[in-house]
């Protein structure tokens, strides 16, 4: 394998809360970065006023961060292309960008979900659509609530890539005084952790909305980690990955933080709102677990893995089960050893 070149120039495609924040991290790390926004007015606001008020109110973006609504311009000459769009639209977005992708660039996914139509992880979708070998695909995942990172609060994360050298090159490109990336080669474990924690956060939110306290949340986190690990191991992941930053770390952050869109969505359901009402209140920001609960449940069925929390979250979100009976059902399951 040829040695991996340093990552000097990066395109971030998607200027929502995480894409914009991650572009700031890269710029703060001294990496040249170009951010693609779907809407021209968002790109103009970033360039003229150094802010993205719709997603990150009050955050001043670095001088060097340039935005454009032209994807070809954003990716031109990039050593890495970061994909920061929702999981369920990534395939369609990437198909549009595929003709202009630089041939040797590392393709990096920030999305945390499992595609509904195929049950594929994001790295698989990228490999298929961009027609690249998996050692050119990387994932960034960890306890990374965008709003906290945009405020430069310290956190750690994981850069996962089957090609360790490529992971190290990207790790360098996004290391700052407040953002500390570790490397990992277990793409399956890192991606499943990120997708499943959103579903468990929906369950935690429902518990909060029902008026339950920290014992309930901790029980859901711990049993959620157990069912995530069961699925991951069945799919070929390393069990220890689930105890790491992208596993337990992100699960705790998302389940416990009122900043999480998934937990907030679940909390609204727990308080008696409908899915449509919770969706309206999200103002267009994505709560990935609402769709991934269904794909993850189907994956679990395909691999013969029991995932009782993902199962009830799916039934609350898509089959009209109310959160209160869902809780009764979880507690009333057959008694078993831990």
Ligand X SMILES: NC(=O)C1=CN([C@@H]2O[C@H](COP(=O)(O)OP(=O)(O)OC[C@H]3O[C@@H](n4cnc5c(N)ncnc54)[C@H](O)[C@@H]3O)[C@@H](O)[C@H]2O)C=CC1
Ligand Y SMILES: O=C(CO)COP(=O)(O)O
**How far apart are the C-alpha atoms of 169 and 191, rounded to whole Å?**
20
Q: Of 275 and 330, which has the nearer Cβ to ligand X?
A: 275
The binding site for sn-glycerol 3-phosphate comprises 112, 142, 197, 250, 260-262
Half-sphere exposure of 200 (CA within 13 A, CB side): 32
- Which stretches within the chain are classed as H helix? 17-28, 40-49, 71-75, 87-97, 122-130, 146-150, 164-173, 187-209, 214-235, 250-256, 261-270, 275-281, 289-302, 308-318, 323-331
- Active-site residue flag, 24: no
- Binding status of residue 84 toward ligand X by CB under 6 A: yes
Site for ligand X (CB under 6 A): how many residues?
Answer: 24
**How far apart are the C-alpha atoms of 26 and 8, rounded to whole Å?**
10
Of 24, 120, 37, 101, whose CA–CA distance to 63 is shortest?
24
- Binding status of residue 292 toward ligand Y by CB under 6 A: no
Stretch that binds ligand X, among 12-20, 94-102, 208-216, 301-309 (CB under 6 A): 12-20
Q: Of 68 and 292, which has the nearer Cβ to ligand Y?
A: 292
The secondary structure of residue 333, as a DSSP letter, is S
Q: For ligand X, what does the binding mask look like between residues 21 and 60, x meaning CB under 6 A?
A: -----------------x----------------x-----
Bridge partners of 106, per DSSP, are 80
User: By Cβ distance, which residue is nearest to ligand X?
Assistant: 16
From ligand X, ligand Y, none, interface partner of 143 (C-beta below 5 to 8 A by class): ligand Y
Q: Pick one of 15, 217, 231, 252: the residue that binds ligand X (CB under 6 A).
A: 15
- Could you say which residues in the range 104-123 bind ligand X, by CB under 6 A? 110-113
The binding site for NADPH comprises 17-18, 38-39, 55, 112, 146, 261, 286, 288
Most distant pair of Cα atoms in the chain: their distance: 60
- Binding status of residue 261 toward ligand Y by CB under 6 A: yes
- Could you say which residues in the range 236-255 bind ligand Y, by CB under 6 A? 250, 253-254
Sign of CA dihedral 97, 171, 263, 320: positive
The secondary structure of residue 98, as a DSSP letter, is G
Tokens of 22: 């991650």
Q: Of 29 and 202, which has the nearer Cβ to ligand Y?
A: 202
- Binding status of residue 113 toward ligand Y by CB under 6 A: no
Q: Would you call 107 helix, strand, or coil by DSSP?
A: strand
Site for ligand Y (CB under 6 A): how many residues?
Answer: 13
- Binding status of residue 155 toward ligand Y by CB under 6 A: no
Bridge partners of 70, per DSSP, are none
- Could you say which residues in the range 197-216 bind ligand X, by CB under 6 A? none
Element holding 105 (H helix, E strand): none
The CB-of-99 to ligand Y minimum distance in angstroms stands at 30
The CB-of-282 to ligand X minimum distance in angstroms stands at 8
- Could you say which residues in the range 264-323 bind ligand X, by CB under 6 A? 285-286, 288
Full DSSP string of 158-201: EEE-SSHHHHHHHHHHT--SSEEEEEE--HHHHHHHHHHHHHHH
From ligand X, ligand Y, none, interface partner of 201 (C-beta below 5 to 8 A by class): ligand Y
**How far apart are the C-alpha atoms of 219 and 213, rounded to whole Å?**
10
Of 121, 270, 247, 323, whose CA–CA distance to 331 is shortest?
323
Q: List active site positions.
A: 197
Q: Using CB under 6 A, list all residues that contact ligand Y.
A: 112, 143-145, 198, 201, 250, 253-254, 260-262, 288
Q: Using CB under 6 A, list all residues that contact ligand X.
A: 14-19, 38, 55, 84-87, 89, 93, 110-113, 144-146, 285-286, 288
């Amino acid at each position: 394998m040829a040695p991996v070149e340093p990552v000097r120039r990066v395109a971030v495609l998607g200027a929502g809360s995480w894409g914009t924040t991650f572009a700031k991290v890269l710029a703060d790390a001294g990496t040249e970065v170009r951010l693609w926004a779907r809407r021209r007015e968002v790109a103009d606001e970033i360039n003229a006023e150094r802010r993205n008020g719709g997603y990150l109110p009050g955050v001043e973006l670095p001088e060097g961060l340039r935005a454009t609504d032209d994807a070809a311009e954003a990716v031109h000459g990039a050593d890495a292309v970061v994909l920061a769009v929702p999981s369920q639209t990534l395939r369609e977005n990437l198909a549009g960008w595929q003709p202009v992708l630089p041939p040797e660039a590392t393709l990096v996914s920030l999305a945390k979900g499992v595609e509904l139509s195929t049950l594929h992880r994001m790295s698989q979708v990228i490999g298929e659509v961009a027609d690249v070998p998996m050692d050119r695909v990387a994932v960034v995942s960890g306890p990374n609530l965008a709003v906290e990172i945009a405020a430069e609060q310290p956190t750690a994360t994981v850069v996962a890539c089957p090609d360790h050298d490529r992971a190290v090159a990207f790790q360098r490109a996004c290391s700052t005084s407040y953002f500390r990336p570790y490397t990992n080669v277990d793409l399956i474990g890192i991606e499943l952790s990120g997708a499943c924690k959103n579903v468990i956060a929906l369950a935690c939110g429902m518990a909060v909305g029902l008026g339950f306290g920290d014992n309930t949340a901790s029980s859901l986190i711990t049993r959620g980690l157990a069912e995530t690990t069961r699925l991951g191991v069945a799919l070929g992941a390393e069990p220890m990955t689930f105890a790491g930053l992208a596993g337990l770390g992100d699960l705790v952050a998302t389940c416990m933080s009122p900043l999480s869109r998934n937990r907030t969505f679940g909390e609204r359901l727990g308080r008696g709102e409908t899915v449509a009402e919770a969706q309206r209140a999200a103002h267009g920001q994505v709560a990935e677990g609402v769709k991934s609960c269904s794909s993850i449940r189907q994956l679990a069925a395909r691999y013969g893995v029991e995932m009782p929390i993902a199962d009830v979250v799916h039934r609350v979100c898509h089959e009209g089960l109310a959160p209160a009976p869902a809780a009764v059902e979880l507690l009333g399951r057959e008694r078993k050893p831990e």
